[in-house]
Amino acid sequence: MAEMRWDSLAEQALVGEQLSLEQALEVLAAPDEELIDLLAAAFRVRRHHFGKRVRLNFLVNAKSGHCGEDCGYCSQSRVSTAEIPRHQLLAKDELVEAAERALELKASTCCIVTSARKPSARELHGVAEAAEEIKQRHPELKLCACLGEIDAEQARSLRESGIDRYNHNLNTAASHYPEVCTTHTHADRARTVETVAKAGLSPCSGLIVGLGETREQLVEACFALRDSGTDSIPVNFLLPIEGTPLGSHDPGLDPRYCLKALCMFRLACPEREIRLAAGREVHLGSLQPLALYPANSIFVSDYLTEPGQAPEDDYRMIEELGFEIEPAGS
Ligand code: SF4
């Protein structure tokens, strides 16, 4: 019985037993006719840990373009010719304003993102100063910084300024990483995730599905994220951007596979925040609302250089599902 087969994985997740490699592959290969049973199993686990709440996150493109790295999917890399906004770090007032916009949009977390492999001393200081000001005015708003590779000292200074969380995506499996980027390694990225966790920041690290990885490599990436102890896992689905090396790459995704991938993440990482991230509108299409059965978090409004759906559509989707937005500070 399909229903019992997937429900036993929910049972296993709820008693703290890890999803095995074989089970994860079975989830990814689930027959489409069993998708509803699989979603029900993933939702059982999501409901146990997060109820019907949906966490909203707001992205601030605090410094855009000018990156010296060559990540194949990224419009801000040195090899990209995509037309994107390019600007140096926003001023403190602009970052404070952006945080206020996050609250207006009902987000409980504001993610301050800069492009580059590592932040300069000036950028780190600028973000820390803005974080202090934002926290003074809006202590209920959670702040996440995504500034590239940082060391222990930098992580400590961000934590002291009021930054709660640090995002640094592993992006794909270690075995697939050289196909996606040659200027730094998967191990470089994993080191930063470890460093921020040790410094007492909440680690956030996710990936992009559809980079040409095999199913085995998607499981490898999922398990690496699980084992890294990350609290929050943004799951992006590749949006090929014209002018990037992956601009004409076919991510080979369909909405049902995207849902199965999200279910695998929920069953493998039961108590972590699983965030439905970029590409959800394009790749999930009309099945998008179903993704909130495994996932408990989304980005509201636009992505860094790509538009997202209107916030009102997200609010309506959440309401129509009978779910609720998690208030800031809860
Ligand atoms: S390091 Fe970040 S900003 Fe730079 S190319 Fe890679 S993903 Fe883009």
Q: Which atom of ligand 1 is nearest to the CA of 117?
A: 1
The mean of the pLDDT values for the chain is: 95
249 pLDDT more than 80: yes
Note the helical H segments in 105-208: 121-137, 152-161, 177-180, 186-198
pLDDT score recorded for residue 165: 98
pLDDT at 70: 95
pLDDT-above-70 percentage for the chain? 98
Mean pLDDT, residues 63-86: 91
Query: How distant is the alpha carbon of residue 134 from its chain centre?
Result: 23
Residue with the bigger pLDDT between 18 and 305: it is: 18
Q: Does the Cβ of 115 fall within 6 Å of ligand 1?
A: yes
pTM of the full structure? 0.96
Q: Are 180 and 71 in contact (CB under 8 A)?
A: yes
Answer yes or no: is pLDDT of 264 > 70. yes
- Our answer on whether the CB atom of 80 is closer than 6 Å to any ligand 1 atom is no
Tell me how far apart the alpha carbons of residues 13 and 155 are, in angstroms, rounded to a whole number.
32
Res. 2: pLDDT tops 80: no
Domains of the chain: 35-324 (3.20.20.70)
Contact 208, 240 (CB under 8 A): no
For residue 44, which amino acid is it? R
DSSP category for residue 2 = H
d(CA 60, CA 242): 22
- Surface-to-core class of residue 91, CB atoms within 10 Å of its CB (0-12 exposed, 13-18 middle, 19+ buried): exposed
pLDDT at position 302 over 80: no
pLDDT greater at residue 263 or residue 3: 263
Local structure of residue 301 (DSSP, 8 states): S
What's the pLDDT score for residue 1?
A: 63
Q: Whose CA is nearest to atom 6 of ligand 1?
A: 71
Q: Which of 64, 66, 67 to mutate to test the pocket of ligand 1 (most atoms within 8 A of CB)?
A: 67
77 in contact with ligand 1, CB cutoff 6 A: yes
Residue 95 CB coordination number (10 Å): 23
Give the containing element (helix H, strand E) for 264: helix 255-268
Tens of pLDDT along 132-183? Answer: 999 999 999 999 999 999 999 999 999 999 999 999 999 999 999 999 999 9
pLDDT category at 330 given cuts 50, 70, 90 is confident
DSSP bridge partners of 15: none
pLDDT band of residue 5 (cuts 50, 70, 90) is: confident
State how beta strands 202-204 and 207-209 pair. Answer: unpaired
Q: Is 123 in the pocket of ligand 1 (CB under 6 A)?
A: no
- Indicate whether residue 76 lines ligand 1 (CB < 6 A): yes
Whether the pLDDT of residue 94 is over 90: the answer is yes
Please check the confidence at residue 294 and state whether its pLDDT lies above 80: yes
Q: How many helices (H) and strands (E) does the chain have?
A: 12, 10
User: Is the pLDDT reported for residue 303 higher than 80?
Assistant: no
Q: What is the pLDDT of residues 229-240, one digit of tens each?
A: 999 999 999 999
Residue with CA nearest ligand 1 atom 1: 117
Question: Using an 8 Å Cβ cutoff, are 305 and 313 in contact?
Answer: no
Percent of the chain exceeding pLDDT 90 equals 92
